[in-house]
Amino acid sequence: MKKTGTADQPPTPPTPAAGPEAIKAIPVRHYGRYLSAAIALGAFAAIVYAFSQGKINWDAIPDYFFDDRILNGVGQTLLLTVLSMAIGVVGGILLAVMRLSKNPVTSSIAWFYIWFFRGTPVLVQLFVWFNLGLVFEYINLGPVYKDEWSSFMTPLLTALLGLGLNEAAYMAEICRAGLLSVDEGQTEASQALGMSHSKTLRRIVVPQAMRVIVPPTGNEVINMLKTTSLVAAVQFSELFRYAQDIGQTSGAPVEMYFLAAAWYLIMTSVLSVGQYYLERYYARGSSRTLPPTPLQKIRANVLSVGRPKGGMA
């Protein structure tokens, strides 16, 4: 915590009557930049040309881009991403707190959980959940619920458990790093005020840990969105599976992969923007001025065109 700002309203230094004359100099020419830009553009054009000449029926993509099944798949993908991340975040915070607890029982349980779920591939976990009926024939929650495992374990539930529980293990490590990043003085200060352990965590530590937790969590969301394509393997229909289905019936399988890729790119791009604003929110109080929003940045850039400032790379 560095000392910032001024003490108490310092007297403003006298300003010179007339501003100094601005320096007019020939800027350094960066010929390497022009050259590398030309090479990059050339390479890009070559790749685009190669694809356009390939045996790919590009017209099929716009035909199916807003197909009902595709849109439905996009919705399912988003739903699965949101729900599995919710399980992951809640589970992750819980596991991280357990892991850092003084109680050896809870911290060992958390350690074991993380060890298991991080140590096995998520695709394998999905298949295990799918076939768990071999172990448990019935699910029996006493008077509340009783059913055969196979009818209880719907594709959605399989996908949610597989993705969510796996994610919780990764989120636990992210949350743990975040909780540890908060200065110990913060815990001491809140304890000295008489705050309980859980209040200290909830009111003081977690909000500050969010600054460290949010950026990698944004990555996890984007990762999760892409990983949902794996659940096609356990009979859950989402974007990738619908795209495959359409590809098989319409005779344009590869084209549908491009279509799915485009949709995934659109969704991850939107998520990246959301992440930026979330990070900005949790930065409040840590820096004196918030970073500009992309809109503000664009506005500033547009206004400054024509009078470039020094040092613009």
Q: Which spans of this chain sit near other proteins (rule: CB under 8 A)?
A: 1, 3-8, 183, 185-186, 188-197, 199, 203-204, 207-208, 284-288
| Cβ-contact 106, 98 below 8 angstroms | yes
Q: Closest approach of Cβ 236 to other proteins, in Å?
A: 39
Half-sphere exposure for 54 (CA within 13 Å, toward CB): 12
Q: What is the DSSP string of 220-234?
A: HHHHHHHHGGGGGGG
Q: How far is the CB of 264 from other proteins (least distance, A)?
A: 35
Provide the token pair at 97: 């707190």
Q: Give the nearer residue to other proteins in terms of CB position, either 251 or 285.
A: 285
Is the Cβ of residue 13 or residue 194 nearer to other proteins in the bound state?
194
Smallest separation, CB 171 to other proteins (Å)? 21
Nearer to other proteins, 52 or 198 (CB): 198
Q: Which is nearer to other proteins, 147 or 183 (CB)?
A: 183
Q: Which residues, in sequence order, are CB contacts of 196 under 8 Å at separation 6+?
A: none
What is the dihedral angle through the alpha carbons of 149, 150, 155, 157, rounded to the nearest 10 degrees? Answer: -10
**Which residue is it, tokens 């029926």?**
57
Question: Please, which residue, 5 or 119, has the CB nearer to other proteins?
Answer: 5
Closer by beta carbon to other proteins, 135 or else 192: 192
CA distance 226 to 276: 19
CB 220 within 8 A of CB 91: no
Q: Which is nearer to other proteins, 5 or 143 (CB)?
A: 5
Q: How far is CA 178 from CA 38, 164, 279, 300, in A?
A: 43, 20, 14, 33
To other proteins, the closest distance from the beta carbon of 195 in angstroms equals 6
Question: What's the min distance (Å) between Cβ of 225 and other proteins?
Answer: 29
Distance (Å, rounded) from C-alpha 170 to C-alpha 135?
27
Question: With contact defined as beta carbons under 8 Å apart, do 117 and 171 qualify?
Answer: no
- Smallest distance from other proteins to CB 64, Å: 48
Residue 146 dihedral angles phi and psi, to the nearest 5°: -150, 125
185 Cβ contact list (under 8 Å, min separation 6) = none
What is the closest distance, in whole angstroms, from the C-beta atom of residue 177 to other proteins in the complex?
Answer: 18
Q: What is the rounded CA–CA span in Å between residue 117 and residue 123?
A: 11
Which amino acid belongs to residue 93?
I
Residue with Cβ nearer other proteins (288 or 307): 288
Residue 57 or 196: which CB sits closer to other proteins? 196
Asked if residues 224 and 81 have their Cβ atoms less than 8 Å apart, the reply is yes
Q: What are the structure tokens assigned to 164, written together?
A: 């969510």
**Least distance CB 109 / other proteins (angstroms):** 21
Q: Identify the CA nearest to 132 among candidates 149, 148, 116, 118.
A: 149
> Least distance (Å) from other proteins to the CB of residue 103?
12
